[in-house]
Structure 1
Amino acid sequence: MPPLPGFSDNPFRTRMDLIRAAIALIKPLNPYKSPTRARITLATSTAAGFSETAAQLEGFSRPLWVVAFLLSSQATQSDPAIQTLLSDAELNLASWVQGLKEGTDPQSPEYWGDLGPSDQRMVEMETIAIALLVHPSAFSFSHDPPARGNLIRWLRQINAHAMPQNNWLFFRVLVNLALVLSLGVPLGEVKSHIDGALEVLDSFYIGDGWSSDGVWGAERKQADYYAGSFAMQFCALLFVKHAAALPAYAPRIEKYEAQAREFAKEYWRYFDADGAAIPFGRSLTYRYACAAFWAAVSYAGIEMAAPVDVGAVKGLLLRHLRWWSRQPHTFNTDGTHNIGYTYPNMYLSENYNSPQSPYWSLKSFLVLGLSSSSSFWSAGEQPHPLAAQGREALSRVKVVWPPRQLLVSAPEHHFLLSAGQSTSKPFKAREAKYGKFAYSSAFAFSVPTGPLLDQLAPDSTIAVYVQDGEEEGWKVRWEPYGVETGSVSVGGGYGYGEATFLRSTWRPWKRRGVRVETTLIAPGERWPGWHVRVHRIYIPRSTAPLRVVDGGFAVDAQTARDSSIFETRVCGSFDGVGEKEREEGWWNDGRGALVVSRGGASGVVDLTSSFSFGDAGAEGKRGECVILRADPNTNIIASRTLIPMVQHSFAVDGGDNQGDAEAVFCVVTGVFAIQASAEQHLERVWELWGARPSGAVDGGVVRLG
């Protein structure tokens, strides 16, 4: 796909840069507007699970995240350069005002329709509400009573129907704020709807500034980007900004400001030094909305403290946008956004993704609502908190407990380990989006295309298969329970002290009784590039032979010269490797498997023989390393990938403990990864690959070194 001029070549340094980028993003939409401008339908012809009318409304509403601010600037900005940009006839900002009038008029052929329960139109009302709050003189139709009446009637429908008990409740709050503050509806008429929604939203709070996307419990354990940038924190900050005019909500505003500061203390860890976010969870086609929290904090005027003061916030947001500007395959040939992450990928999408959905990414442009003289734009952009001077005390490894994750912000690889998220909601690829052991900003993760192993592409997770002829197929890690965190000792005379772990248990089948307890350990500086997985696998003696694979990170299968590594011979030995620096290829001697490509280095080693086991009745069983050629387009960053993995076969008929009801096996996997941007570490890849962790396991106690 071609790059998009104005976005792909944008330095993202100044407010003018963001104006140019916003114009570049919405200008290609012009040919797809309906005759009276109330609907936008892109040319890709894919469908979402809601009505086509709602999808076309989505196309109209989501660009309002920038249109409202551009129209406001056009009305108030004296800078002739900005006026010249905004007066472009092909941009036609006024068409969105016309479209709002037509879309809310029941007599118009482009009327958006009346709402029903859990209607997608409720989601699209959020952006319309913000447009009204940002620029009421354009969107409130104060001089056109019939149009104003239609708009009020249409918006008030959000109070008349049931909606999902998740982030959607904030849309009801914001719509009612707009009704009161921009359309003259008395607060008393809608206050109960605002307060009722806020009361339920309060029940989603899980601590340290984090909220789950719904009540955290057996049915839903989700704390992904909806928790911060897509909805929960983002909408709370919009409330802080605009509800300040309503004294009744002063205590809640103060609470939301405090929660935002708490959230920011660790949220920066999800972003790499070059701006890339760690993708996990659903709705990743919203792309650079991952950084919308930083835009919302600035827009709401929240005073932040180190390590995320205003200069750091500015850097986190703008570096993220710059990272996306270097991903040209996010655009169709006509300049519109496609569905996917770094390239078009319908396997990633959810059933609520229409061709117009990706424009929710424009939430990160909220800072266009700040004047060029604001503290955000006047502040100097600061580097990533871990790279800033005087920040040496910040830990590179940190458990963030509300989402049950361990963040590793190391110079060789930026990733997280995850232990406790899942959902019963039928999201596509939910096991891949929430249930894996690890997620990386550099290697991303893979989604399934089918039931076979290469189609499942089980990177950074464990998959099991019972060979009993019942054809149940592979089961991948899902619904972990018993999550705990702690530390293990790191010995060997290096003085590293302790390493942090997350532990959880998973049952592949409810009726078979097999369970897998996994301890994930991030050893930090002792073994750069590595993390360790200790699996205790409990298998009832009535179980047929079990096959288990433990996958490393999926790595780009292309070399720096764009040749395919899988067209070359797999090297069966590591002897002599490393004589050429940055040698690319794939190696597998059965004990370890490694791929080095333009995406970096990814490998696994079966470390079972390097660990001693003190468990009575537990057997350390060694596996075999393989490299899986994953189905194309499974990984969300690289379209062709190779996955190093360790495979084990367990048969429990024999052994010394046949009197026991179950057999216990202990296996240890070392997972190795160096991202392509870690130039210094890639030059040492063979040295680091050879320096592998070792240790001991005795029951629930693990020791490294």
Structure 2
Amino acid sequence: MPPLLGFSDNPFQSRDDVLQAATSLLKPLTPYKSPCGARVKLSTATGTGFDEISAQLEGFARPLWVVADLLAAQPTTSATASGDLDLYSWIRGLDAGVDPRSDTFWGHTGEHDQRMVEMEPIAYALLTAPTAFLSALPNTPGSDSQVDQQKRDRIVAWLRLINEKTVPPSNWRWFRILVNLALVKSCGVPYDEVKPFIDVDFKMLDSFYIGDGWSSDGLWSADKRQADYYSGSFAIQYSQLAYVRFARDLDPERVERYRSEAGEFAATFWRYFDVNGAAIPFGRSLTYRFAFAAFWSAAVVAEIPLPAPLNDMGVVKGLLLRHLRWWAKQSDIFNTDGTLNIGYTYPNMFMSEDYNSPQSVYWCLKTFSVLRLSEDHPFWQCEELPHPLSTNTLSHELGNQNDTSLSPFGVVNPAAQITCSLPEHHFLLSAGQSTQKPHRAREAKYSKLAYSSAFAFSVPVGPLLSQMAPDSTLSVSNDGGDTWKARWEPESARIKSVQLTLEGQKDSGPKTTTVPVLISAWRPWKSTDFKIETILIPPLERWPGWHVRVHVLTWKAQYSDSLFQLVDAGFAISSEGVTGVVLPTLTPELRDLLSSEDEKATDAAQEGIWEGDYNCLVLSDAGASGIADLSAGAQKRPPIDPVFGGRECRSDLLRPDSNTNLVAQRSRIPSLHHRFQVQGNSSEAWLITGIFAVSSSSGLDNASIRELWRDKPRLDVEEYTNIL
């Protein structure tokens, strides 16, 4: 796909740069607007689970996230900066869309209606630039500085419909709150008329709060455990910060609480961003792309005091601008006409949701609300500072940190995740999220064991193992591999701080270290008592590039002589080399030759795939991804041990279908394939897996990466029995 001039070539250094990027994203929409501006229908002919009129309303409403701020900042926005972009088409479009007499009327809102979603950016526009959206247009008879009462009445009548319908118990409750806030603050509706609806919605939203500034997307319960980007940039935190901006006089106590919660949320959220600006993809609606960083923009505009290491505005500026620079390098996110496509770093319908229309993707424009600030604002004037963890001098040991805000491990208790920000690889370990809502690829989006900013996760496209693309997760079969179940609906997730004994390096003796670990359980078949409990151990200073999984399998005696298969998989990685060709398979002899000191081969020649009996490694242009069975090398054998008697283990480099991975169109997945026969009355087995990953952004050459790969972790299994 061609790059988009103004975005793909943007240095993202100044306000003018960010303004140019925003306008370059808006301009390609112009040919697809209805004559009055009320609807936008892109040329991509894909549908959604809701009606086509709502999809075209999306095309109108979602650009308002930045259009409103541009109109509000018009005195500081030069005409040349906006070029030939017609901002007033959105003003005309609002008037036509709410007018039942118009042939582009948006229709009346029904129960659980997509129109409710699009009412939120309209409400944001009315709150941000009320004069622009409610006054008579320029060159219209009468005073253009006065509110056009007929226009206002039509807008009020259409927005009020949301109070007559059922709104789902999720982040959607914020849509109704901001609509009612706009009715009061901008449209003159008495507060007492809408306060009962606001109170009901706040009671619901308060029940979503799970601590440390985080909310879940709905009540946290057995059938819905979601704390993802909807809890932050995509919806809840962003909406709370909009409320902070516009409801200070109406609700000062709640506003102050939201200011405090935003600071708490930021204290862990910044760790989801790598030093190069890439965010860790996790959860649904990832086609919203750089909406990941919308929280930073909203926090600056709402003047939120942030804790260390974010208490210098230059740090926040860096988090926002580096993220936009990372996306500027992804030119395949654009269609040939310059519009954004559905996908992540390239067009991909497999990872989309049923509610993604071609216009949905413009939710990403939330990130540009910082354009509300004038050029002389401290945010634009301050120096951009690097990522707080951009140096390599930080200790890997959480327990020895004087300042835990700069530990490489971020413990996110509400989300049941541990972020790992290390020079070799930036990723998070995850244990306890899932939802029974029928989101496409929900198992992949919420219940994998790890998610990486360098090696994005994959989504399934069919029932076969290669079509499931089960990276960074467990898959099991009890029918000879005819059917597989991927890890889903984990239970009993918890984070625990533990002390581990590490093997000494070279002449040094054993040492101990304290790290956070994640523990969770999974029952693949609810009709049986087969259970897999997993301990996730983050990378340790002794073994850079590695993290460890310990799986404890338990079952009842009635499963004697049953055959189970289990696949434990590492990170999916591009299967292409730096020259774009498919990676070669390396023989053990060639691998040894390439790792010798006198080898003169280039890095490109050293790329490839290597498979041993119990481990496998991929070296590609993206870095390295590997997996190793550590069970046999454990310092002490597990206490109950049918696995070592009846287990078969082999390494397997899965070749998933193309376009299953969010970033790499062609990928390979290092995995271990276990087959074991349950013998006698034994009821427990242990598996220990080492997951190896080094990103290309680490700066390590292939020789250094292979040296890390050869030094595999050796851990004391007996200590894990104490953990559980």
TM, length-normalised to structure 2: 0.92
Distance 2:36 2:127 in 1: 24
Equivalence for 1:453? 465
Contact 1:608–1:622 (CA under 8 A) maintained in structure 2:
no
Give the aligned partner of residue 319 of structure 1. 322
Say which SS state the counterpart of residue 623 (structure 1) adopts: strand
Q: Secondary structure at the match of 1:490?
A: strand
Partner of 1:340: 343
Deviation at 1:680, TM superposition (A): 2.8
**Whole-Å separation in 1 of the counterparts to 2:487 and 2:195:** 44
Output the CA distance in 1 between the equivalents of 2:365 and 2:696.
28
Q: Distance in 1 between matches of 2:393 and 2:198?
A: 44
User: How do 1:496-507 and structure 2 match up within 5 A?
Assistant: 497-507=513-523
The residue that corresponds to 1:113 in the other structure is 107
**Residue among 489, 493, 517 paired with 1:479:** 489
**2:455 maps to amino acid:** F
Aligned residue identity for 1:503? I
Distance, in Å, in 2 between the alignment partners of 1:564 and 1:702 is: 45
CA separation in 1, counterparts of 2:581 and 2:393?
43
Deviates more, 1:379-388 or 1:440-449: 379-388
1:584 maps onto 2:607 in alignment: yes
Listed one character per residue, the Cα deviations across residues 129-152 of structure 1 (whole Å, up to 9, x for unaligned) are: 111111111112453222211100
Q: Deviations over 1:50-82 (max 9, x none)?
A: 0000000000000111111222333x23x6xx2
Structure 2 residue matching 1:525: 3-state secondary structure: coil
Q: Match for 2:113: what amino acid? A: D
Distance 2:37 2:485 in 1: 48
Output the CA distance in 1 between the equivalents of 2:703 and 2:588. Answer: 22
Specify the SS of the correspondent of 2:365.
Answer: helix
Query: C-alpha separation between the residues in 1 aligned to 2:80 and 2:73?
Result: 12
Residues 184 and 212 of structure 1, relative CA distance in 2, 3 Å threshold: same
Quote the offset at 1:618 in angstroms: 5.6
Alignment match, 1:282? 284
Q: Which residue of 1 aligns with 2:697?
A: 677
Q: Secondary structure at the match of 2:717?
A: strand
Please tell me whether residue 368 in structure 1 is matched to residue 371 in structure 2: yes
1:610 aligns with 2:630: no
Instruction: Report the counterpart of residue 534 of structure 2 in structure 1.
Output: 518
Contact residue 36 and residue 98 of structure 1 kept, 8 A = yes
Identity fraction in percent: 51
Structure 2 unaligned segments of length 5 or more: list them. 136-145, 396-402, 504-508
Structure 1 counterpart SS, 2:524: coil
Please list, as runs of the form range in 1=range in 2, the aligned pairs for 1:386-535 lying within 5 A after superposition.
Answer: 386-387=389-390, 393=403, 394-467=406-479, 471=482, 473-486=483-496, 487-492=498-503, 493=509, 495=511, 497-535=513-551
Contact 1:587 1:594 in 2 (8 A): yes
Equivalenced residues, count: 685
- Alignment check: 8 A CA contact 2:502 2:542 kept: no
Shift of 1:85: 2.4
CA contact (8 A) 1:499 1:523 kept: no
1:696 shift after superposition: 2.5
Secondary structure at the aligned position of 1:444 is classed as coil
Structure 2 equivalent of residue 273 of structure 1: 275
Alpha-carbon distance, 1:494 to partner:
5.6
Q: CA deviation at 1:683?
A: 4.8
Are the aligned partners of 2:595 and 2:703 in contact in 1 as well (CA < 8 Å)?
no
Question: What's 1:252 paired with?
Answer: 254
- Which structure 1 segments of 5+ residues have no match? none
Letter in 2 for 1:613: R
The question of 1:103 aligning with 2:97 is answered yes
Deviations 1:481-539 (A, max 9, x none): 11122224132236452232111110110113211111111132221110001111124
Q: 2:576 aligns with which of 558, 570, 578?
A: 558
What is the distance in 1 between the residues matched to 2:323 and 2:717? 41
How far 1:564 sits from its partner (Å)? 1.1
In the TM superposition, what is the alpha-carbon distance from 1:626 to its structure 2 partner? 1.1
For the residues of structure 2 that align with 1:458 and 1:293, how far apart are their CA atoms? 31
The 5 Å alignment of 1:638-677 reads: 638-652=664-678, 654=679, 658=680, 660=681, 663-677=683-697
Question: Shift of the alpha carbon at 1:575?
Answer: 3.0
Q: Which amino acid aligns with 2:479?
A: Q
Alignment-derived partner of residue 141 in structure 2: none
Question: Is the partner of 1:605 in helix, strand or coil?
Answer: strand
Change in CA separation of 1:673 and 1:197 when aligned onto 2, cut-off 3 Å: same
1:196-248 superposed Cα distances (whole Å, 9 cap, x missing partner): 211110110000000000110111100010111111111000000111232xx
Shift of 1:641: 0.1
Q: Deviations over 1:334-360 (max 9, x none)?
A: 000000110000000000000000000
Give a deviation string over 1:638-682, Cα, whole Å, max 9, x none. 110000100100111x3xxx2x3x532211110000001111365
2:124 corresponding residue in structure 1: 130
Q: Which residue of 2 aligns with 1:625?
A: 651
- Out of 213, 217, 220, the position equivalent to 1:213 is 217
| Equivalent position of 2:81 in the other structure | 85
| Structure 2: distance between partners of 1:391 and 1:678 | 15
Instruction: Provide the rounded CA distance (Å) in 2 between the counterparts of 1:388 and 1:250.
Output: 40
Cα-Cα RMSD: 1.8
List per-residue Cα deviations over 1:528-569 (Å, max 9, x = no partner). 11000111112444443111100010000110011111xx33
Of 489-498 and 92-101, the range deviating more from structure 2: 489-498
The yes-or-no answer on 1:160 pairing with 2:164 is yes
In structure 1, distance between residues paired with 2:650 and 2:61: 53
**Partner AA of 1:561 in structure 2:** T
Deviations along 1:228-269, whole A, 9 cap, x unmatched?
Answer: 1111111000000111232xx100011000001111111111
